[in-house]
Amino acid sequence: MLRSLTLHCLLVLTFVFPFSASTLADTFVFTAIPDEDETRLVERFQGVADYLSEQLDVDVRYIPVKSYAAAVTAFRNNQVQLAWFGGLSGVQARRLVPGSEALAQGLEDQAFETYFIAHRNTGLSESDALQEDLRDRTFTFGSKGSTSGRLMPEHFVREHFEAAPEEVFSRVGFSGNHTRTLRLVEAGTFEVGALNFQVWEKELADGNIDTEAVSVIWRTPSYPDYQWTVRGDVDERFGAGFKDRVRQALLDLDDPELLASFPRTRFIPAENADYEPIRVVAEQIGILD
């Protein structure tokens, strides 16, 4: 509890008083998109910070942010040098900071999926394709900047119905994160929602889903998603070869408990070209200028 409180204080101070070169010149700072409950994220990424600090022999700090856009902004402004991004936020960040690179992704991120879930009162059951009965339902995405919670599910909705979500559903919402999407549909606040399949599977394994109230009705085709992205100027700041050392540290991470918190089996190499399909879809939909 004390460590969490300290991190919250650091967050407030960080964004009220921007980082200064004198105070953080030797500190490697990273963040992550807030795709789940903040308490879980702090616990997960403080563990990553401790691991990287030991491996890189520098002070490493994790700074939480309140939105996907804030994660991209912090990266652009060099308030953080490394970030755990989704597919879309990674594309956005790398466009804003030339020379930035995707370093590593989870083994599972090569073929990610979104689950469409529905409340039991809809009477909808699992299908191999999107159902026409989805029309005129209430529907919630996750964050507006989420790949698995917004970009790709919107792409598949447009592809199937040949219309924007606002023209298909009676009401469209944005929950802010995947855990919130699950809870809103589970409670019946929205009839249908789209969320990261990993969140569903983990919550299900942990016994945190009322399967009498909500169920999966469709699984999307796979697509590339999350990745670690680093700024291209880290070698200038932390010394020659630092970027490669960060990549290797991420690839070498083998703590079962820490990996399970993502959840990922392990991290594997990634590169910018892996996310070209995400860029193309984002431009088609009009999310990426």
Q: How far apart are the first and last CA of the chain?
A: 42
Residue whose pair of structure tokens reads 């804003």 in the numeric block: 96
Distances (CA, A) of 39 to 15, 17, 206: 19, 23, 16
pLDDT tens, position by position, 126-184 = 999 999 999 999 999 999 999 999 999 999 999 999 999 999 999 999 999 999 999 99
- Is the full-model pTM beyond 0.85? no
Q: Could you tell me if 233 and 99 are in contact, meaning their C-beta atoms sit under 8 angstroms apart?
A: yes
Domains and CATH numbers, the chain: 2-109+225-276 (3.40.190.10), 113-219 (3.40.190.10)
Q: Could you tell me if 120 and 265 are in contact, meaning their C-beta atoms sit under 8 angstroms apart?
A: no
Structure tokens, 96: 């804003």
Say what angle helices 87-96 and 276-285 make with each other, to 10 degrees: 90
Give the pLDDT score at 289: 62
pLDDT above 90 as % of the chain: 85
Mean of the pLDDT values across residues 203-208? 95
Tell me the residue type at 189: T
Task: Give dist(CA 12, CA 8) in Å, integer.
Answer: 6
Q: Is the pLDDT of residue 23 over 70?
A: no
24 pLDDT band, cuts 50/70/90, is low
Give the pLDDT score at 35: 84
Structure tokens, 279: 């860029």
CB-based contacts of 16, cutoff 8 Å, min separation 6: none
Q: Which of 5-19, 24-38, 138-152 has the lowest mean pLDDT?
A: 5-19
What is the average pLDDT value for the chain, to the nearest integer? 91
Q: Is the pLDDT of residue 1 over 80?
A: no
Q: Is the pLDDT of residue 115 over 70?
A: yes
pLDDT tens, position by position, 221-244 = 999 999 999 999 999 999 999 999
